[in-house]
Chains A and B, each alone.
Chain A
Amino acid sequence: MRAWRLLLHLYPAALRETHGDELEALFARDLSRAHGLARVVVVLRAIGDTIVNASRAHLEMTALDLRDVWRGLRRGPGYAASVVLVSALGVAAATASFSLADHVLVRPLPFAAPDRLVKLWQDQSSRGYSRMELSPGNYVDWQRGARSFTSMAAFTTRSVNALTGAGPVRFTATRVTPSLFETLGVGAATGRAFMAADERTNTMPGVVLSDHVWRSVFGGRSDVLGTTVTLDGTTHAVVGVMPAWFEFPTREVDVWLPLTFAPADLEDRADTYLQAIARLAPGVTIAQARADLAGVAAGLARAYAANDRTGATVIELRDEVTRQSRAMLQALVGASAAVLLIACANLASLLLARGVARQRELAIRLAMGARPRRLARQVITESLALSGLGGAVGAVLAVAVMPIAAALVPTTLPIAEAPAADLRVLAVAAIATLVTGLGFGLVPAWRVARMSADGGWQQGTRVFGGRSTERLRGLFVSGEVAVAVVLLVTVGLFLQALWQVRDIDPGFEAGGVLTARTTLPLPKYERVAAREQFYRRVLDDVRALPGVEHAAYTSFLPMVMRGGIWPVLLPGTTVPEDARTASVRFVTPDYFAAMGIPLLRGRAVADTDRQDTAYVAVVSRSFAELYWPGEDPIGRAFTTALQARTVVGVVGDVRVRGLERESEPQIYLPSTQVPDGGLAFYVPKDLVVKTSGAPATLVASVRASVQRADPEQPVSDVRLLTDVVERETASRATQVAALVAFAAVAVLLTLVGVHSLLAYVVAARTQEIGVRMALGASRLGVLALVWTRAVRLTVIGSVAGLVLAYAASRSVQALLAGVSAADGTTYGMAAAGALAIGITGSLVPAWRASRVDPVAAMRHE
């Protein structure tokens, strides 16, 4: 019988309490009438009967409750709408930012044993760069000398001109040492990837295609293996196709080519352009690997002058997220947690108010014999149903904003661009919903369950006693104001930082400039004369276009290519050796005019600077001030890019490395003054066209000009210079937009919170207000009463919020681009904003309170 009693617990409590005894009696009767095997049948049948009917009873009861919920809410849709809105916003914010953070910061990379993969950099901290690319010589020596890795691989990415059946196209090609795929532990989907063994064979160079190139350029043909592609004039046979998910080192890569080093490549240790990864040997920790590689690097630092004070940086490949991206994501997760917090406080406050509003109804039903547990179940069903609906809406919302969130995924990781909204995300939404619904549905439910049937009326009124609930709700609302203030301060600081960065002078005029890239293939354009002929034809043609004022070629656009750094040799200089580097660009005449870079002294690069005339250089102001402070730099000589050069002009400085970074001083050299076949990396390829009209209208004509100069020459990367500058602040702008969205949601939720609390207070005190007015209180006095309350709530919240905000902004100081975390204006504005929330939220309740008719209010009840 005890077991039978336990079985009865499957039934809803209300049914068990009412009918448990009778169910038991019937079972006992059936059992006593049966004998032998028949008793077993009775028991089995009773168990089946209980299971079937208990589950049906639960379903029926829930259906009845939901019907009641539906009816009740049709009478007062405001409450339902508030609960659904509040939980939807909270769940959406939490889910979206969780998925994003999980995607970028938590989820393992899609490679075999990803936690054993490390990224290697040259450490030149003394020059300000702890993450520098490797020179081929150093890579080979690291690979040879280090004992901590099972394999090491290097790669470098640049674009190539491809000739396929469909005409010339540009591919982003990553040249990889054949050991790369084995290091990552990834194989090809079709054919094969490169293998370490390929390094020793000397066959026709192969190419491995990405899935998207295989599909878009090769039509997804199954017989693609062995097809040949001409890349920068060299024929490559397709040896494999990678799986669609493989995106290494970034998602832009189209093809992979083998990277091998000739003995000559290993000589120049200052020529650093390789990225490197390695797989830790079994049992080796990252700390041991660091020590090992530091030893190897120290040996090389002694052996080669260019390696002076060069160490090694070893970090987990997973951590290859810039500190800025990471801090940015953490700020967003913090903001969304804040929104979820506000949503929960709001929900709790709403549910508490609902409990008070229903006290009379529930007390009557108790008095009429309803079971407390049955009522509790109804209350829970209601809050679960509403927050569940809110959760569902929130999940849909989260999935909808996911593509926008993709803009925040850093490009430095070999992961997909958009975080997929997967099952785990939905699970998070479900949990968030359950926690809010259950958490705050339980309190009123528990209170209902504690009411006893007799005296429920009296006790019920007391249990839900207005004042304590009001205090609790006041606390919640102040908490909401505090969190909203934190978000407002954060948004204010980030907005100022964004404006500050946008205000930074890049050193050139981006407006009205169209840029395009024509990477000239070698060996076709190995000779300077061949290139000059191409440039002249293109530039003359382009200059003839209507509206075009200037046109020029340069090695790289600023902010697009941030490297391209050469050592500067200047005997007798007192400049510290680490600082003797400059960013070098080869340009055609008219470059400074096209870019709007001011010429400060001397002359610009001119047509008269030929391969056979004296080698000259135009330097930036910071270069001149560094080497010849207070002196005239014109006519001074120094050596860079393998040649001695004489300074003929000084121009303004440019933010080559980006708006937010310090750049090396700049050197501009005539495109002609380089030996044939030398410095291929620096061959001018970026076309800059300055127009008085709208630059975008020139695109077709510029393409046609290039086509006329060389029909085989593809044009790529057509963009406005303003877009290049804009891109510098794009992630900041996206982040600010996301924060603004969160802050807007927080303000909205807080408004709802303040409003619903005050509306409730006014409604509950109508009688008291009536009495006050009857005793001579003016309407203004009543208004003041409500406002005092609103102001008290907001002031308490604001003070707490400002303190929290200071702590929060200190932690994101690095992202603030020099804006102080203690910026007084921002804090003042946030406090004013909080006060505005308080006043706005109290407008309608205050108006209602002032309209109370004393006579009617006192007659009430």
Chain B
Amino acid sequence: MPDTPTPESLLPLPVATFHILLAVADADRHGYAIIQEVAARTNGEVTLSAGTLYRSIQRMVELDLLEETDDRPAADEDDERRRYYRITAFGREVARAEVERLQALVKLARSFGLAARKG
């Protein structure tokens, strides 16, 4: 088995990867639902293309950030072609590490007067 990398070694995360992690943070979702969720949360500013989505998912599964889940919704809502993805514990760690990185950046920017003071 390949070794698992440290969360820091994956930073900075590609924008799409970060948004996908956020989209599955609270619920398992299938691909199209992830696209919709990301678009909704960013008011349509980030729209993932199908290629970007599945390329990212493929890589995230290999890096153990996501896993495919067999828990499926009720049959009337389900489509058998769909695959559902769940964030892994490592995925959460990586998302957290990325948030910390971004926070540190914002803090740095503030000290140079480039971002609004907190509160």
Residues on A lying within 8 angstroms of B by beta carbon are 11-12, 14-15, 18-19, 21-23, 25-27, 29, 45-46, 49-50, 52-54, 56-57, 60-61, 64, 67-68, 71-72, 361, 364-365
Could you name 5 residue pairs across A and B whose Cβ atoms are closer than 8 Å?
A15-B54, A15-B58, A57-B59, A64-B62, A71-B3
Residue of A26, A29, A64, A365 touching B1 (CB-CB under 8 A): A365
A19-B57, A26-B32, A54-B51 given; 20 more Cβ-contact pairs under 8 Å: A14-B58, A18-B58, A19-B58, A19-B83, A22-B81, A22-B82, A23-B51, A23-B54, A27-B50, A45-B49, A49-B49, A53-B54, A54-B55, A57-B55, A57-B58, A57-B59, A61-B59, A61-B62, A71-B2, A365-B1
Contacts of A12 in B (CB 8 A): 58
A67 to B10, CA, bound (A): 12
A68 contacts across to B, CB distance below 8 A: 2
Q: What is the chain A residue whose CB lies nearest that of B67?
A: A369
In the bound assembly, the distance between CA atoms of A12 and B54 in angstroms comes to 12
CA distance A19 to B35 in the complex (A): 15
Q: How far is the CA of A706 from the CA of B91 in the complex (A)?
A: 90
The answer on a CB contact under 8 Å between B51 and A50 is: yes
B1 touches A49 (CB 8 A): no
Q: Closest residue to B9 on the A side, CB-wise?
A: A67
On whether A53 and B51 interact (CB within 8 A), knowing A18-B58, A22-B31, the answer reads: yes
CB distance from B7 to the nearest CB of A (A): 15
Q: Answer whether A21 and B51 are a contact pair too, CB < 8 Å, given A60-B59, A71-B3.
A: no
Choose among A22, A25, A72 the residue with the greatest number of B CB atoms under 10 Å from its CB: A22
Q: How far is the CB of B47 from chain A (nearest CB, A)?
A: 11
Q: What number of B residues sit within 8 Å (CB to CB) of A?
A: 22
Residues of A within 8 A of B69 (CB): none
Name the one of B1, B63, B81 contacting A364, with C-beta atoms under 8 angstroms: B1
C-alpha gap A23/B58 in the complex (Å): 13
Whole-angstrom distance between the alpha carbons of A365 and B62 in the complex?
A: 12
B1-16 interface with A by 8 A CB criterion: 1-3
- Of all A-B residue pairs in the complex, the 6 with the closest CB atoms, nearest first, are A53-B51, A19-B54, A49-B51, A26-B50, A49-B49, A57-B55
Which chain B residues in 57-88 approach chain A with CB under 8 Å? 57-59, 62-63, 79, 81-83
In the bound complex, residues from chain A placing their C-beta under 8 Å from that of B54 are 15, 18-19, 22-23, 53
A289 and B56 CA atoms in complex are apart in Å by 72
**B31 is contacted by which of A19, A27, A57, A365 (Cβ under 8 Å)?**
A19
B103 within 8 A of A: no
Q: Which residue of A lies closest to B79 (CB)?
A: A25
Which of A21, A45, A46, A56 is in CB contact (< 8 Å) with B55?
A: A56
Closest to A57 in B: B55
Main secondary structure of the interface of A (DSSP, over half): helix
Of A52, A72, A364, which is within 8 A of B51 by CB?
A52
Shortest distance from the beta carbon of B10 to any chain A beta carbon, whole Å? 11
User: Which B residues lie within 8 Å of A11 (CB)?
Assistant: 55
> What DSSP secondary structure best describes chain B's contact surface?
helix
B79: chain A residues at CB < 8 Å are: 25
Residues from chain B with a CB closer than 8 A to the CB of A53 are 49, 51-52, 54-55
Q: Which residues of A contact B58 (CB under 8 A)?
A: 12, 14-15, 18-19, 57, 61
User: Is A21's CB under 8 angstroms from B1's CB?
Assistant: no
Specify which chain B residues have a CB less than 8 angstroms from the CB of A365 in the assembled complex: 1
Assembly CA distance A509 to B60 (angstroms): 81
Task: State the Cβ distance, A699 to closest chain B Cβ, in Å.
Answer: 67
- Judging by beta carbons under 8 Å apart, are A26 and B62 in contact? no
On whether A22 and B55 interact (CB within 8 A), knowing A49-B50, A71-B3, A364-B1, the answer reads no
Q: How far is the CA of A703 from the CA of B30 in the complex (A)?
A: 94
- Once the chains are docked, how many angstroms separate the CA of A64 from the CA of B5? 11
CA distance A18 to B79 in the complex (A): 15
Please tell me if the beta carbons of B50 and A23 are within 8 angstroms of each other in the complex.
Answer: yes
Please indicate the chain A residues that have their CB under 8 angstroms from the CB of B49 in the complex.
45, 49, 53
Closest to B59 in A: A60
Docked Cα-Cα span, A361 to B55, in Å, equals 25
Residues of the A chain whose Cβ atoms lie less than 8 Å from the Cβ of B1 = 361, 364-365
A385 to nearest B CB, angstroms? 15
Q: How many Å from the CB of A441 to the closest CB on chain B?
A: 19
User: Could you say which of B31, B58, B82 has the most chain A C-beta atoms within 10 Å of its C-beta?
Assistant: B58
The smallest C-beta distance from A373 to any residue of chain B, in angstroms, reads 13
Residues of the A chain whose Cβ atoms lie less than 8 Å from the Cβ of B50:
22-23, 26-27, 46, 49
B82 cross-chain contacts in A, Cβ below 8 A: 22
- For residue A23, which residues in chain B have a CB less than 8 angstroms away from its CB? 50-51, 54
**Closest chain B residue to A365, Cβ basis:** B1
Chain B residue nearest to A46 (CB atoms) is B50
Chain B residues near A56: list those with CB within 8 A.
Answer: 55
Contact residues in A for B30 (Cβ distance below 8 Å): 22
In the assembled complex, how far is the CB of residue A5 from the closest CB belonging to chain B, in whole angstroms?
A: 14
Complex alpha-carbon distance, A56 and B52, angstroms = 9
Closest to A52 in B: B51
Specify which chain A residues have a CB less than 8 angstroms from the CB of B3 in the assembled complex: 71
Q: How far is the CB of A25 from chain B (nearest CB, A)?
A: 6
Nearest to A19 among chain B residues (CB) is: B54
Interface centre among A26, A27, A64, A364 (most CB of B within 10 A): A26
A27 to B50, CA, bound (A): 8
Nearest to A26 among chain B residues (CB) is B50
Q: How far is the CB of A22 from chain B (nearest CB, A)?
A: 5
Look across to chain A and name the residue whose beta carbon is closest to the beta carbon of B32: A26
- How far is B32's CA from A25's CA once the two chains are assembled, in angstroms? 9
Q: Tell me the bound Cα distance from A23 to B56 in angstroms.
A: 13
A52 to B53, CA, bound (A): 12
Q: Give the chain B neighbours of A364 by CB distance below 8 A.
A: 1
Report the bound CA distance from A54 to B62 in whole Å: 16
When distances are taken between beta carbons in the complex, the residues of chain B under 8 Å from A45 are: 49
The docked-state distance in angstroms from the alpha carbon of A25 to that of B30 is 12
From residue B44, how far is it (CB to closest CB) to chain A in Å? 16
Q: How far is the CB of A777 from chain B (nearest CB, A)?
A: 37
> In the complex, what distance in Å separates the CA atom of A53 from the CA atom of B51?
5
Residues of B within 8 A of A64 (CB): 59, 62-63
Residues in chain A near residue B62, CB distance under 8 A: 61, 64
Nearest chain A CB to B59's CB is how many angstroms away?
5
Q: Which of B2, B55, B79 has the most CB of A within 10 A?
A: B55
User: Cα distance A154–B83 when bound, in Å?
Assistant: 84
Residues of chain A within 8 A of B63, CB atoms compared: 64
Contact with A along B19-63 (1 / 0, CB 8 A): 000000000001110010000000000000111101101110011
